[in-house]
Amino acid sequence: MDEKQNIEYKESWRREYLKWVCGFANAHGGKIYIGINDRGVVTGVENSKQLMADIPNMIRDTMQIISVVNLLRKDGRDYIEIIVNPSTYPVSYNSEYHYRSGSTKQQFRGAALTEFLLSKTGQKWDKIPVDNISVSDLDKESFDIFRREAIRSKRMTKADLDMTDEELLDSLSLMVEGKLKRAAVLLFHRHPERWVTGCYTKIGKFGKGADLLYHDEVKGSLFIQADRIVDLIYLKYLKADISYHKETRVETYPYPRDGVREVVFNALIHSNWADNVPIQIRIEDDAMYISNSCLLPADLTVDALLQRHRSTPHNPDIANGFFRAGYVETWGRGIQKICDECENHGTAPPEFIIDSRGIMVKMTALSKAKSITAPDKPVTAPDKPLTAPDAAQDEPPTAPDTAQDEPPAAPDTAPNKVEAVIDFCVIPRSRAEIQNHLGMKHRQHFIKEYISPLLMSNQLAMTIPGKPTSRNQKYIAT
């Protein structure tokens, strides 16, 4: 009989093999045979009677567990069987926590150890309450996004959502004894990276090798990131292949949008945020790689991942928030949906690369629509500043608005408002959208003091640089 998940062979006894006992106890239990070589052949042990007394005592004294130890005999040779039952609580050996995975023994360290200890006590990382933060500290836009998407997906009705933010959090089980859980902070706080350093998403466009052409960091609550990441990828990083069917313009992108969306949402939900590692999206000409830190079940292989499997979210409260918003299902169908979207789009199946640090999903670009810089030339500010008469052509005013908002006596290009414009324009926004977001009514003053300076300093760029006065003009942070 070969070694496997629950069987280990050792030719002789050494005290260090107590680590294997610890590993079996922390996993699914198993048996260790002393006096059998790796080929499963009984070689025997000479001091079997002494070991029958020593081994049970060592296991009890070092790990406070009881294991059955049997003396067996074959072909005139004694060998020992140690039966280790799975433990319902964490078992340590000399303050080390070991785990049996496959036919190997691993030691828990860092975030993996934290997750293991929490799981053994019935806790999840995202359920832990956070001190010194209240509902009033959370972000209004994040609540607006949740309510909008929950109604749109029909997961909740308008009547269901007619409650205060605190009542909503309580209904989503995001509070415990009056305190916000970590999940609430990540889902609804404007700057969750203050509590979880790596809670954001990095997107980069790469040329050959390590040649980084340009990149973005999408920060904000997980709902804000979910609302913006896919739009940003398709507006700034990808270019569609254009064809025509009769008079209809057909745009074909390198990757299926719903498939990319599903991968991104899965990364946001299942990331092991305790690792403080952001989600990373690497976009090349021929492929896109989306990776996140995560802790998959020890027995979940790539093959098992591609089959029907039980939904076991790493962050159940975060997953529930995304489900209530209508972003995801709850039946473990995400992987199958990604594969189906790729097949329908005509691209190669996604590749799932799993290692001890996390998971990476590789999506191959459609051959006729490669991932390239969009647009073809770098987006820059126009040769001359956008003046008030030009901007007036963007959309006709409904009524003279110069009297609606008196220009301030001193320039009001305060850093906080400039930052607000740049933060709001992480995805393309129209002039009216930006102006309304800042609560300003005086159009010419707004363009003169904000849009034009940010364009000239290349902090903002036009999406249609060849037509500065286009009605469809939008602005994006560079």
Q: Over the chain, what HEC string results?
A: CCCECCEEEECCCCHHHHHHHHHHHHCCCEEEEECECCCCCECCCCCHHHHHHHHHHHHHHHHCCCCEEEEEEECCEEEEEEEECCCCCCCCECCECEEEECCEEEECCHHHHHHHHHHHCCCCHHHCECCCCCHHHCCHHHHHHHHHHHHHCCCCCCCCCCCCHHHHHHHCCCEECCEEEHHHHHHHCCCHHHCCCCCCEEEEEECCCCCEEEEEEECCCHHHHHHHHHHHHHHHHCCCEEEEECCEEEEECCCCHHHHHHHHHHHHHHCCHHHCCCEEEEECCCEEEEEEECCCCCCCCHHHHHCCCCCCCCCHHHHHHHHHCCCCCCCCCHHHHHHHHHHHHCCCCCEEEEECCEEEEEEECCCCCCCCCCCCCCCCCCCCCCCHHHHHCCCCCCCCCCCCCCCCCCCCCCHHHHHHHHHHCCCCECHHHHHHHHCCCCHHHHHHHHHHHHHHCCCEEECCCCCCCCCCCCEEEC
For residue 1, what pLDDT band results from cuts at 50, 70 and 90?
low
Q: How confident is the model at residue 389 (pLDDT cuts 50, 70, 90)?
A: very low
Can you tell me the mean pLDDT for 278-296? 92
pLDDT at 409: 37
pLDDT digits (tens, 9 = 90+) for 141-186: 999 999 999 999 999 999 999 999 999 999 999 999 999 999 999 9
Q: What integer pLDDT is reported at residue 417 of this predicted model? A: 81
- Is the per-residue pLDDT at 192 higher than 90? yes
pTM above 0.75, yes or no: no
- What is the pLDDT of the chain when averaged over all its residues? 84
> Using 50, 70 and 90 to split pLDDT, how confident is the model at 455?
confident
* CB 72 within 8 Å of CB 78: yes
pLDDT of res. 301: 60
Query: What band does 391 get if pLDDT is binned at 50, 70 and 90?
Result: very low
Count of C-beta atoms within a 10 Å radius of residue 178: 10
**pLDDT tens by residue, 106-148:** 898 877 787 788 777 778 889 999 999 999 999 999 999 999 9
Q: Mean pLDDT over residues 210-234, rounded?
A: 94
Higher-pLDDT residue of 157 and 330 is 157
pLDDT of residue 382: 37
For residue 465, the model assigns a pLDDT of 76
Quick: pLDDT tens for 203-217.
Answer: 999 988 778 999 999
Domains belonging to the chain, first-starting first, are: 7-108 (3.30.950.30), 127-194 (no CATH), 201-217+231-364 (3.30.565.60), 388-477 (no CATH)
* pLDDT tens string 60-93: 999 999 999 999 999 999 999 999 999 988 999 9
Angle at 417 between CA 416 and CA 419, to 5 degrees: 65
Q: What is the mean pLDDT of residues 395-418?
A: 46
Residue 411 has pLDDT above 70, yes or no: no
The yes-or-no verdict on residue 15 having pLDDT over 70 is yes
**Confidence category of residue 384, pLDDT binned at 50, 70, 90:** very low
With 60 as the cut, is the pLDDT of residue 278 above it? yes
Is the pLDDT at 441 greater than 70? The verdict is yes
Give the model's confidence band at 422: pLDDT under 50 very low, under 70 low, under 90 confident, else very high.
confident
Q: Look at residue 266 and tell me whether its pLDDT is greater than 80.
A: yes
> Count of CB atoms within 10 A of residue 397's CB?
10
Average pLDDT over residues 326-353: 87
